[in-house]
Chain A
Amino acid sequence: MPRKEITSGNWAFAEAMRQIDPDVVAAYPITPSTDIIMKFAEFVANGKVETNFVTVESEHSAITACVTASAAGARVMTASSANGVALMHEIFPIAGCFRTPIVFGLVNRSVGAPINIHCDHSDSMGQRDLGWIHLYCEDAQEAYDSAIMAVRLSENNDVLTPVFVCQDGFITSHGFEPVEYLDDETVKNFVGEREPLNSLLDVDNPVSYGSFAMSEYYFEIKRQQIEANKKALELYDGIAKEYEAVSGRYYPMIDCYRTEDADHVIVIMSSASGAVKDVVDEMRDKGHKVGCLRIRMFRPFPKEAVAAALKGKKAVAVLDRCLSLGGTAPLVAEVRSALYASGEMIPTNSCIYGLGGRDFFPQYAEDIFMDLINGKISPEERYIGLLE
């Protein structure tokens, strides 16, 4: 029987880890993801899991241990945030290329400096092109559910790509809300046993990882990773529907909230989409045809689905909780590219919000919608809630 608890995003993710009972967890704590590993360490200490829990001296070592354990055929999970994620940077593309599935609880926090513990997406966005799948969760329930689904996606032998399950630091990770947990048996059956290809521990079929690939084959191996991303896009929905069958909750790659007949749409990710959806309801009541498109899967980017959801809109605003200093913020760059490629020349405002945990108020969403409605469209970046 499913049970409901008042809990946090971090504890919900840790509970998913307990139920998944991974073979190996190697981790090093950093705020705000520390809580995940603290809670999981408690499960280890109390004999609630059979996991080999490896405590290491840095995030670089943590992710290295995860990659090698996964290459050995283990089911592997870990968690980190911010500069911890940044320290893992060198190893992420190796995990991607070695095709070592890992489910990673990434609790989004701004990358210093200035040092700051609060949420923005600069940590995960710094890792966006390294061959990892990125899922961005709106709330604690979704973080829990995504952890379980991510195991299946990551370990699928046509995908074999590590997954970041992102949730907003403090807002989701430390906020308490009701979360419905599946029973242990259901989770166990859903995730099944990993059937590794090319396990280092399969001594009858020996393999070597980490071989040299110069100009002759490097490109071909990258092409295989592109294929794995295409497969992830193709297979994701089947896994989400299977999960719906056991949980009653369905998480599409993109969450279209009242967008179908909308003229004006805000595109956003993670927790702030809740405020936008509320504003959509209020403005709908006043007769404005507005909607919210929440991007849940950022890598691989579901560009066709995004273009289809925005087709024919009068104008959209894309809200990034991250900068690309000197360039175009990551989400708006993807959305504009998807629209251009599909022949949709829709005016697009680019809005930066929430850096370093700056609050995002419903009034901001309303102002952004009103700019779209009043034709205040311009190519320059806008800064929401900035002192100016």
Chain B
Amino acid sequence: MSDCKNWKEMKDVGKPKKWQDVPMGGIAYGASAENVETGQWRSIRPVWNEEECISCMLCWVQCPDRSITTDENGKVTGIDYFYCKGCGICAHVCPKKAIEMRPEADFA
């Protein structure tokens, strides 16, 4: 049995040192997709061109994550690279070609 049964106890445990430290059933405590940096997976990066963008929101609708950021008026403000996996759907659906996919190596 895991000694670590609830998320509050998990906070200061850090990396498990014995089997009892591992969360029961491999459950992730306190976790939600909000905290997971899926941007680490990205090999190509969407680059948003503010000049061309008409905020039609097609990219926002089609993004499989939550990577298109908007302001309070519903206008596109950019791309959240913490979440963006680089799938390229936004660039593909953009009617104004305002998003360009570029290799991550260009930004290294």
Contacts and interface: CB of A to CB of B under 8 A. Distances in A.
Contacts of A197: 5-6, 24
A7 B8 CA distance: 49
B6 A217 contact: no
Interface string B1-35: 11001111000000010111110111111111000
A208 interface: yes
Contacts of A189: none
A209 B32 CA distance: 10
Contacts of A217: 16, 22, 26
Contacts of B32: 206, 208
A130 B47 CA distance: 48
Interface stretch (A132-140, A218-226, A282-290): A218-226
Interface in A167-219: 197-198, 205-213, 217, 219
A213 B16 CA distance: 13
B6 A205 contact: yes
Contacts of B26: 97, 210-213, 217, 221
A301 B84 CA distance: 49
Q: Which of A98, A206, A207, A231 has the most CB of B within 10 A?
A: A207
A33 B78 CA distance: 57
A221 to B, nearest CB: 5
B28 A208 contact: yes
Contact of A98 (B1, B22, B25): B25
A132 to B, nearest CB: 14
Contact of B7 (A157, A207, A221, A227): A207
Interface in B50-99: none
B31 A220 contact: no
Given A205-B7, A207-B7, A224 B2 contact: yes
Given A205-B7, A231-B1, A221 B22 contact: yes
Contacts of A208: 27-28, 31-32
A341 to B, nearest CB: 23
